[in-house]
């Protein structure tokens, strides 16, 4: 594999002015009757000087090859003159955005999901990008899709079914993005490409299970809320019994405590307003 070699060719203005000087000398020669020299000099300029002039724009480069051999890369922007027999291939050094298409894959526990990623990348080694792969843009597209598929297969969508999962696609966005960026850099290093950022842009259950999984999420949320309510209610009942006992407001036997606990739990855990009932008798008759 060819390693990138940066070259700094001479200024193109010097060669261009030399070409103009040849033209002037050729005209003088034609005027003085030296037609042979007057014809040869412009031909030298046209065939050997002008073809070597190149313009390199900012954030662009020119990869030069001479008869199949890599000569080097011009990365500095400006007007230059290089060997006129070299083949000059323009390679952009700007950052590219890849908005990946939505992929339908299975997560680590087999649930079908839809996932897509946005990837920002740029070329860091022009020689590898041009010579190591057939088409570096197509290579980025294919390897990015493979990396996203592998990432989706490695983690569950969430921990509803796998409570032991430490990283999930839905809950671990930052960690997942870092892992995706790392894997992409490993895959694209062969092509001399560096991934600047990789983010999951779309993540959802596949349509055929989306409704069922939404019901599971809702049920889980309801259970979690009820658990919190019950824990809070038990704590409040315990505190109420302790306060009544400490201040000797009323003496409660076990049956009265049970009735009080039952009433308080109904009031505190109920999902609707309760109507108080005033008891003018006793618990026994």
- DSSP assignment of 108-145, as one string? TTS-EEEEEEEEEEEES-HHHHHHTSS-HHHHHHHHHH
Nearest to 234 by CA among 265, 270, 266: 265
Is residue 20's pLDDT more than 90? no
Residue 36's pLDDT band (boundaries 50, 70, 90)? confident
The pLDDT of residue 266: 66
Task: Pick the closest to residue 119 from 93, 142, 135, 90 (CA basis).
Answer: 142
> How far apart (Å, rounded) are the C-alpha atoms in residues 115 and 155?
12
How would residue 232 be classed by pLDDT, with cut points 50, 70 and 90? confident
Query: Which residues 6+ apart lie within 8 Å of 256 measured at CB?
Result: 283
User: Is the distance from CB of 103 to CB of 204 less than 8 angstroms?
Assistant: no
Instruction: Report whether pLDDT(258) > 60.
Output: yes
Residue partners of 243: CB distance under 8 A and separation at least 6: 249
What's the gap between Cα 84 and its chain centre? 41
Average of per-residue pLDDT values in the chain:
82
Q: What is the reported pLDDT for 244?
A: 66
46-76 burial: b if 16+ Cβ within 10 Å, else e? eeebeebbbebeeeebbbbbeeeebbbbbbe
Short-list 97, 76, 94, 92, CA closest to 12: 76
Average pLDDT over residues 180-192: 94
| Both tokens assigned to 65 | 């090859």
Given a cut of 90, whether residue 9 has pLDDT beyond it is yes
Name the percent of the chain lying above pLDDT 70.
76
List of E strands, 93-234: 96-99, 103-106, 112-123, 193-205
- Six token digits for residue 88: 């000059």
Calculate helix-pair angle for 173-188, 136-154, nearest 10 degrees.
140
Helix (H) or strand (E) run with residue 256 in it: helix 254-269
Residue 242 has pLDDT above 80, yes or no: no
Structure tokens at 71: 């000569």
* Contact of 191 with 129, CB cutoff 8 Å: yes
CA atoms of 24 and 33, how far apart (whole Å): 14
Kindly compute the dihedral angle of the four CA atoms of residues 188, 200, 212, 107, in this order, to the nearest 10 degrees: 20
Nearest Cα to 52, choosing from 40, 22, 44?
A: 44
Q: How confident is the model at residue 284 (pLDDT cuts 50, 70, 90)?
A: low
């Amino acid at each position: 594999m060819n390693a990138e070699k940066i070259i700094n060719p001479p200024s193109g203005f010097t060669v261009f002015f030399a070409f103009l000087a040849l033209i002037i000398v050729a005209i003088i020669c034609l005027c003085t009757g030296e037609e042979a020299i007057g014809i040869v000099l412009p031909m030298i300029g046209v065939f050997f000087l002008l073809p070597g002039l190149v313009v390199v724009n900012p954030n662009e480069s020119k990869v030069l090859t001479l008869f199949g051999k890599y000569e080097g890369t011009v990365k500095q922007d400006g007007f230059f003159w290089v060997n006129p027999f070299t083949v000059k291939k323009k390679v952009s050094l700007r950052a590219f955005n890849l908005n990946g298409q939505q992929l339908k894959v299975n997560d680590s526990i087999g649930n079908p999901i839809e996932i897509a990623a946005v990837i920002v990348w740029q070329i860091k080694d022009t020689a590898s990008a041009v010579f190591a792969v057939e088409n570096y843009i197509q290579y980025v597209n294919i390897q990015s899709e493979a990396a996203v598929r592998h990432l989706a297969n490695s983690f569950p969508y969430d921990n509803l079914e796998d409570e032991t999962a430490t990283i999930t696609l839905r809950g671990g966005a930052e960690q997942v993005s870092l892992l995706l960026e790392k894997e992409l850099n490993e895959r694209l290093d062969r092509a001399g490409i560096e991934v600047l950022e990789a983010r999951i842009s779309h993540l959802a259950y596949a349509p055929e299970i989306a409704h069922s999984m939404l019901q599971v999420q809702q049920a889980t949320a309801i259970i979690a809320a009820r658990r919190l309510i019950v824990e809070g209610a038990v704590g409040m009942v315990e505190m109420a019994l302790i306060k009544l006992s400490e201040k000797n407001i009323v003496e409660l036997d076990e049956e009265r405590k049970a009735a009080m606990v039952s009433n308080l739990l109904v009031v505190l855990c109920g999902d609707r307003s309760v109507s108080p009932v005033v008891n003018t008798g006793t618990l026994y008759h």
